[in-house]
Amino acid sequence: MAGPDKGFSRWLLATNHKDIGALYLWFSFAMFLIGGSFAMIIRAELFQPGLQLVEPNFFNQMTTMHGLVMVFGAIMPAFVGLANYMIPIMIGAPDMALPRMNNLSFWILPFAFAILVSSLFMEGGAPNFGWTFYAPLSTTYAPPSVTFFIFGVHLMGISSIMGAINIVATIFNLRAPGMTLMKMPLFVWTWLITAFLLIAVMPVLAGAVTMMLMDIHFGTSFFSAAGGGDPVLFQHIFWFFGHPEVYIIILPAFGVVSEIIPTFSRKPLFGYASMVYATAAIAFLSFIVWAHHMFTVGMPLVGELYFMWATMLIAVPTAAKVFNWITTMFKGSLTFETPMLFSIAFVFLFTLGGLTGLMLAIAPADMQYHDSYFVVAHFHYTMVAGAIFSISASVYYWLPKWCGRMYNETMGKVHFWIAFLGFNLTFFPQHFLGLAGMPRRIPDYSIQFADFNMISSIGAFIYGLAQLIFLFNIIRTIYFGEKTTKEQTWESARGLEWTLPSPLPFHTFERPPSIK
């Protein structure tokens, strides 16, 4: 999207942060469509009771691949792409601090996910143990492809750590003169904190999958009770990574929404400092609540009580953020362009997901909710309505700045309303399915769950249709959109362009020779 076209080598050898940001964003959208196609297979099978389309083992493979591709292939690279594209611009930096490492951190990803997706065609099929890959399902009883899965996860983790180090180095070393930490845009702050989370927890995931590899091939018994190990140990290690991972996914979304809502409210963000401290508090608390995913494993009562109260505590800084977004809109001069619609939907739906999270935090109640469709509904209200809606908002918000052309506003609003309708039709009925007792990750179910499953599947296909409209609008904008000027971009519209010592043109900014 930036600079003259020099063929494939331009992308292969790219060190410009805009080029690499564009690569990340296109890759993540491709993974989003692939992961979405896996979800369509799941919902098509669940459209009515009985086994219609796929075998139970293949259904389990689809649930595994859908989760892994969406979390590690779609959402995380999308936010890294946004960081690559926008952070240097926002802080007045000429580029990322480590441009060649930036290039390598991207090009590892296609190979990692090629390995992961190719496991569908291996003997025994793809991993079939769920995206959380609990032992012993992922060790003692795993298909042969689990070794390739482990290698893919290692590559993905290496990419994430390199990207995070690059972001931290850029923010600390390349800010424009006069831009102190407390003058940085909220998106930069959320990514700085997210980068530290990534550096802290990705090695934990690497340790977990390495222990799996040792159990499978080298005769160890980390997670095998027969050899003196403990399968519950795997859950502790995985969720010590997995819960901060949830906030790695959602904190950049908080930053995006904190940029967009002030723009279309024509007001500065309410409570900037409190938003920074709340983000840091969420990041800290995310490390000490991991076992709320494990209330049913038989932990001591004092452990259940601790994790229950700690989980409720993490709702406090999150609620402070919601309060600040609503207060920013209060008495503002609101307009409802597409980025604002997605952002308001984010605040409403993410808050709903947070409320169901509080329900799941109550240990005795979680005994009933655990591994039911209520949990599926809860985390999709935070992950899809949280991460995916905010990514959609950010693309509409910054696309005119990226390519110098304006998207079709009517088509954007059509995308929003179809996505909003499809999302809620898909996941809201799943709360009722879970409360009625339907377990997750099953290809067949009792007749009393049929109606809500049918509604959910119809909603899923509507939501999938919305993403094709999104793709069409993006491509149409890049090639045929009405040309725009810097004065027409959203930040300038509110008169709150980033406060840098001197104006920085967006499309003519060149790196100094030392960085090229």
Residues belonging to the active site: 66, 95, 131, 159-160, 243, 245, 247, 258, 292-293, 318, 321, 440
Query: Phi and psi for 386 in degrees, rounded to 5?
Result: -85, -70
Element at 335 (helix H, strand E):
none
Q: Contact, 79 vs 391, CB < 8 A?
A: yes
* Cα separation, 234 vs 411, whole angstroms: 46
Instruction: List, in order, residues 6 or more apart from 348 with CB less than 8 Å away.
Output: none
Tell me which residue of 117, 157, 125, 156 sits closest to 142, measured CA to CA: 125
336 CB-contact burial (10 Å; exposed 0-12 / middle 13-18 / buried 19+): exposed
Tell me which residue of 391, 360, 392, 363 sits closest to 377, measured CA to CA: 360
Query: Phi and psi for 482 in degrees, rounded to 5?
Result: -65, 130
* Cα separation, 47 vs 191, whole angstroms: 39
Tokens describing residue 370: 């655990």
Q: Contact, 160 vs 202, CB < 8 A?
A: yes
Tokens describing residue 462: 């509507």
* Cα separation, 470 vs 412, whole angstroms: 7
What are the C-alpha distances in Å from 198 to residues 182, 191, 205, 242, 340?
A: 22, 10, 10, 11, 29
Q: Contact, 314 vs 278, CB < 8 A?
A: no
Q: What's the chain's Rg over C-alpha atoms?
A: 23
Q: Contact, 428 vs 10, CB < 8 A?
A: no
